[in-house]
Amino acid sequence: INPGWPATLGPLRTQAGAVSLRPVKMRDAKAWSALRIRNQNTLLPWEPTGVGSWSERHQPSAWPPLFSILRSEAKRGTVLPFVIELDGDYVGQLTVGNIQRGAVRSAWIGYWVDASHVGQGIATAAVALGVDHCFGPVGLHRLDATVQPANVASQAVLTKIGFRREGLLERYMDVNRSWRDHILFALTAEEIGDGAAATLVRSGRASFH
């Protein structure tokens, strides 16, 4: 019922180091809390509005209930919650959500990377690993990604992987306390050739060893 989970993906080598994906763990509380609190200013403009202050929502004690939801959704096969590691250190997260089977076989993909490590190809490598996994072992056919027009870095990541812009979703999501327009990007399995990671390697942006 639940192909492709749990899984450890990579590594894919970038200029920053070795990028890999592994399932979230209960033991991630401290690392998650520290990175999320440190990155409030870079994450808040792009993330769904939450209840309570940023620091309250990201105390280490907030991780176990969130982890439990992610674990049970992952068991049901609707979410793939990954940590992005750089040389074995927790530097961000990549989540595949709303996995739908049946005739659409689609999901959305989302990600964030610690601000002290951006601009070195880590998100692009992580998304490539996630995309190849979704179109391979997970058996999906389509991935969506929604990005605010002002989020140029995230749009650059998606474009490098081969996601296409499909349109503008007006007032799509409650983000940072307002209904924000989002650009819908999408990719289907036919479009990735021999794989997103292989394409990055060919373009010189990453290597397998």
The token duo for 111 is 């990600």
Q: Is 17 in the site for ligand ACO (CB under 6 A)?
A: no
Interface with ligand ACO by CB under 6 A: which range of 20-28, 40-48, 72-80, 167-175?
A: 40-48
- Please state whether the peptide bond connecting residue 137 to the residue before it is cis, i.e. omega within 30 degrees of 0: no
Residue 1, helix vs strand vs coil: coil
CA-wise closest residue to 106 among 31, 180, 200, 187: 187
Encoded one letter per residue, x for contact with ligand ACO by CB under 6 A and - for no contact, window 143-172 reads: --x-x---xxxx-xx--x------------
176 binds ligand ACO (CB under 6 A): no
By CB under 6 A, what part of segment 84-143 binds ligand ACO? 110-113, 118-124
Q: How far is the CB of 95 from ligand ACO (least distance, A)?
A: 8
To ligand ACO, the closest distance from the beta carbon of 112 in angstroms equals 4
Q: Which of 9, 24, 43, 131 binds ligand ACO (CB under 6 A)?
A: 43
State the nearest-atom distance from the C-beta of 1 to ligand ACO, in Å: 27
Q: Which is closer to ligand ACO, CB of 62 or CB of 200?
A: 200
Size, binding site for ligand ACO by CB under 6 A: 23
For residue 124, what is the enclosing H or E element? helix 122-135
**Least distance to ligand ACO, CB of residue 71, Å:** 21
21: closest CA among 71, 78, 90? 90
User: Per rule CB under 6 A, is residue 42 in the interface with ligand ACO?
Assistant: yes
Q: How far is the CB of 116 from ligand ACO (least distance, A)?
A: 11
Q: How far is the CB of 89 from ligand ACO (least distance, A)?
A: 14
Taking the least distance from each CB to ligand ACO, the nearer of 140 and 147 is: 147
- Tokens standing for residue 90: 């927790």
Q: Which two three-digit tokens encode residue 150?
A: 């002002």
User: SS3 breakdown of the chain: % helix, strand, coil, rounded to 5?
Assistant: 40, 35, 30
DSSP 116: G
Cα-Cα-Cα-Cα torsion 204, 126, 46, 80, nearest 10 degrees, comes to: 160
Q: Which of 126, 138, 142, 125 is nearest to 192 (CA)?
A: 142
User: What would the two tokens of residue 41 be?
Assistant: 């200013």
The residues of the shown chain that bind ligand ACO, judged by CB under 6 A, are: 42-43, 46, 110-113, 118-124, 145, 147, 151-154, 156-157, 160
